Amino acid sequence: MMPRTISEDDIYLVESLYCQGFSPTEIKKETGISYNVIYFYTRIKEMGFDSRYNYDKYLSRKRQRRKANRILGRLIKYRLRKLKRERYWLANKADISNTSVSNYSTGRILPRENIRRKIFSALGLPHKTLEDFL
């Protein structure tokens, strides 16, 4: 989600308070501007990102490189291929959204343990923790 647009004066205020050593939380208390907006205009910009979207995209790619994300994604894809099923079938069977299945199978997100159990059950796999696959 993109931070709301704020005035140039507010941007200047946020940036100057940050340069004075105020934390985003302190700036929020001082100005009443939301933490997400302050974080964007301080930390995310400081890291070289020109938008929250690009920062979120960077984090997504970073998560996809994690070993656990890659292994689970490959496992889901492999089992669906073996079962000759599609992602929407898994979504219905595990009672989760198609988007979630897509995110899990591409490694963007790791599901919580209870969702993992549903996925493993739907795919006919014994439930194991991800550490068992690593």
For 89-113, the pLDDT digits (tens) are 999 999 999 999 999 999 888 999 8
User: pLDDT under 70 in the chain at which residues?
Assistant: 1-4, 128-134
> What are the backbone angles phi and psi of residue 101, rounded to the nearest 5°?
-60, -40
Q: Where are the domains of the chain?
A: 8-64, 67-133
Asked if residues 3 and 40 have their Cβ atoms less than 8 Å apart, the reply is yes
Position 119 scores a pLDDT of 94
- Does domain 67-133 fall under CATH 1.10.260.40? My reply is yes
**Percent of the chain predicted with pLDDT > 70:** 92
What is the C-alpha to C-alpha distance for residues 4 and 45, in angstroms, rounded to an integer?
15
Position 60 scores a pLDDT of 83
What is the C-alpha to C-alpha distance for residues 101 and 19, in angstroms, rounded to an integer?
42
